[in-house]
Amino acid sequence: MRTSLPVPALRQARDHLLEHGDCLPGAIDERIARSWRRSLDAGLAPAGGLADAAHACAGDVSHLLARNHDLLAHSRPVMEHLFEQVRHTQSMVILADRLGTLMHTLGDPDFLCKAERVALKCGASWHEQHRGTNAIGTALAEARGVEIHGAEHFLERNGFLTCAAAPIMSARGELAGILDISGDQRGRHPHTRGLVGMAARMIENRLLIASCQQNIRLHLHPQAEGIGSIAEGIIVLAPDGWIVGANRSGLELLRLASSDLGTTPLARVFDLSLDQLMARARDCHRLPMQVCLHDGTKLFAQVHAEPAAPRGAPPPAGRDVVVDDALARLDTGDLRWRSAADKARRVSGKPIPLLIQGESGVGKELFARATHDSGPRRGGAFVAINCAAVPENLIEAELFGYATGAYTGARREGSPGRMREAHGGTLFLDEIGDMPLAMQSRLLRVLQERQVTPLGGGRAVDVDFALICASHRNLRQAAEQGSFRSDLYYRINGLTLSLPALRERSDFLVLTRRLLSSFNPERGIELAPELLLRFCQHGWPGNLRQYANVLRTASAMLDPHEECIDWQHLPDDLAEALLVAPPQNTEAAVQAAPQRMTENLKELSRSAVRQALEGSRGNISEAARRLGISRQTLYRKLNG
């Protein structure tokens, strides 16, 4: 247990912070000092009230619990066991999400009454920005276990508490939540932090094993008897032998960081390949075997893998650690689009900005939102701003916020700005190539310093967000020509992804079916064969946005008894474009005999089915969902 300073010494250190804006070096524990400075920068005062947005409404809590279903399911049994260890000690056990919002609590009834007076209850945010220094918020900020005792809390109203918290990490090394024990500071126990840390690792192991049952798992420990214990290391392997997941003990044993997951093959760490490992595992009949790292370290290992599928059977679903995220739900089979999504997943959760390039209408914002919803910041806000749509004289205030009375027409109470709204989530800057040069300079400084100063003055505020930018312009060429700052280009270009134009995509038929299904959820609407072929051959200058609008409008033009969209349902300008100027290289195909057209459409259908099955790894239900058809229809196509 860390020794805390006496209350008078802590008060003296706090007074020095308030007077001088910083703590005396060495006066208090450095982690507490950093947290106090962050609390002060958030605009909190020790004797003051709470910051805004410190509690979620009932609807938000419902969404919060749904988003964290798996974490809650695997945490509750551990929390119940943990509470049995601290029952009757004026304490409570708390689970918070990755942003510090409380989701589940267990506690002694008489202490719960005291706790509720300081909002230690479900839906309350205990992020440092809202509650100052506290174990949950500070564990989030420091990404490690912490203990905050009595007057070490920044807000005086929380000084009666003693709290210990530990982060819960996902299989991909991302923060999933926080486990905490809070109690009356008079009952502080030296083993509380160790107890909560052990419980957090139990939850991590349960989450990892549950989410990776279809993967190859390697359980490790320096002693054979340690395998199966809470101290074991677990690493998750993809079928090609790459390390794609691990618990913290596994990372420590292999001397890897979470950033190495997905980028490190097994053979780079061990002195054997995946095939050799699996062969040795079969010989050992799932008993622990000894393996050796490249540096000579010897470990005991046990392999857990699903039985091999029968020859000729489709590959099982769920080979990756994350098999059903928002990006996967947008995947309709195009290989270029899928490659971009796979790359986006690789850098998700890492401090690497994304730059999405592509023609107008290809779905850059849709892709950016799905990337956010698929990553570790999905619990935070996704803040999108179109740099081309905001007037030049307002974009600075829109992004960075403004103080009271900063300019004529400003709101009396000021505005935090979109960048601060994105704190903890993702900031999406669409059409950043149209941002004025003067604004580019200020944006670059914010990205470098990770601090925002409102227009009109005020204290600089720390911001933490994932950055995704998009543009239909060639930004590298613009930087070379001087119309876009080259230093900003290199700052936002951590990873550039190019989304294909609609005319270049190989999944046109699947996209069509999915769009028609979304616009007509109760009806099986189809396109007339000739019209579908013309659509396939059209250039679609407005890309997916234009095509979706066409199908939405055509669906609205259908009579209640009609189930097929044909020429009469199209806007006049599009019908004219399709009839008058068909693409030169496909005119013969358009004028071909009905039998030839039927063959073309059948081949398109077969190709779409193949792509859907490959994308869903043989899972019939998932493939049918991607195609926008029922399972029975898909079975008929496979047997037809």
Radius of gyration of the chain (CA): 28
**Whose structure tokens read 């004529």?**
408
Confidence of residue 5 (pLDDT cuts 50, 70, 90): confident
Percent of the chain with pLDDT over 90: 32
Q: Order of strands across the sheet with 298-304?
A: 264-265, 242-246, 233-237, 216-221, 298-304, 289-292
Confidence of residue 323 (pLDDT cuts 50, 70, 90): very low
Confidence of residue 281 (pLDDT cuts 50, 70, 90): confident
Around Cβ 584, how many Cβ atoms within 10 Å? 7
Q: What is the DSSP string of 581-627?
A: S--GGGHHHHTS-HHHHHHHHHHHHHHHHHHHHHHTTT-HHHHHHHH
Beta strand pairing call for 526-527 and 564-565: parallel
Residues 227-257 pLDDT 10s: 988 889 999 998 888 898 999 999 999 999 8
Cα separation, 301 vs 389, whole angstroms: 57
Tell me: pLDDT of 512 over 70. Answer: yes
What angle do the packed helices 508-519 and 543-557 form, to 10 degrees? 50
Q: What pLDDT, on the 0 to 100 scale, is given for residue 575?
A: 87
Q: What pLDDT, on the 0 to 100 scale, is given for residue 197?
A: 92
Q: What pLDDT, on the 0 to 100 scale, is given for residue 354?
A: 95
Q: What is the DSSP string of 176-210?
A: EEEEEEEEEGGG--TTHHHHHHHHHHHHHHHHHHH
Q: What pLDDT, on the 0 to 100 scale, is given for residue 446?
A: 86
CB 442 within 8 A of CB 488: no
The stretch 386-401 carries a mean pLDDT of: 78
The stretch 44-72 carries a mean pLDDT of: 72
The whole-chain average pLDDT of the chain stands at: 82
Cα separation, 544 vs 512, whole angstroms: 10
The stretch 537-566 carries a mean pLDDT of: 92
Specify which residues 219 forms β-bridges with.
234, 302
The stretch 446-464 carries a mean pLDDT of: 81
**Helices and strands in the chain: count of H runs, count of E runs:** 26, 20
Q: What pLDDT, on the 0 to 100 scale, is given for residue 429?
A: 93
Tell me: pLDDT of 501 over 80. Answer: yes
Tell me: pLDDT of 593 over 50. Answer: no
Residues 29-42 pLDDT 10s: 888 889 988 988 88
Residues 134-153 pLDDT 10s: 999 999 999 899 999 988 99
Cα separation, 347 vs 497, whole angstroms: 12
Among the listed ranges 283-297, 350-364, 559-573, which one has the minimum average pLDDT value? Answer: 283-297
CB 176 within 8 A of CB 169: yes
Q: What pLDDT, on the 0 to 100 scale, is given for residue 637?
A: 65
| 3 state SS of 324 | coil
* Closest of 171, 142, 281, 313 to residue 233, by C-alpha: 171
The stretch 270-295 carries a mean pLDDT of: 85
Tell me: pLDDT of 57 over 80. Answer: no
Confidence of residue 334 (pLDDT cuts 50, 70, 90): confident
Tell me: pLDDT of 545 over 80. Answer: yes
Residues 64-102 pLDDT 10s: 887 888 899 899 999 998 988 888 888 899 999 999 999
Cα separation, 449 vs 263, whole angstroms: 28
Tell me: pLDDT of 561 over 80. Answer: yes
Tell me: pLDDT of 626 over 70. Answer: no
- In this prediction the pTM is 0.51
Distance of CA 452 to the CA centre of its chain: 23
Cα separation, 146 vs 424, whole angstroms: 20
Residues 513-537 pLDDT 10s: 889 988 988 788 889 888 888 898 8
Q: What pLDDT, on the 0 to 100 scale, is given for residue 96?
A: 94
| 3 state SS of 547 | helix
Q: What pLDDT, on the 0 to 100 scale, is given for residue 188?
A: 82
The stretch 171-184 carries a mean pLDDT of: 90
Residues 186-223 pLDDT 10s: 878 888 888 999 999 999 999 998 888 778 899 999 99
Q: What pLDDT, on the 0 to 100 scale, is given for residue 318?
A: 37
Most distant CA atoms of the chain, gap in Å: 93
3-state helix, strand, coil in the chain (%, to 5): 45, 15, 35
CB 184 within 8 A of CB 38: no
Ordered alpha helix ranges (H), 100-246: 109-117, 128-131, 135-142, 192-211
Q: What pLDDT, on the 0 to 100 scale, is given for residue 329?
A: 85
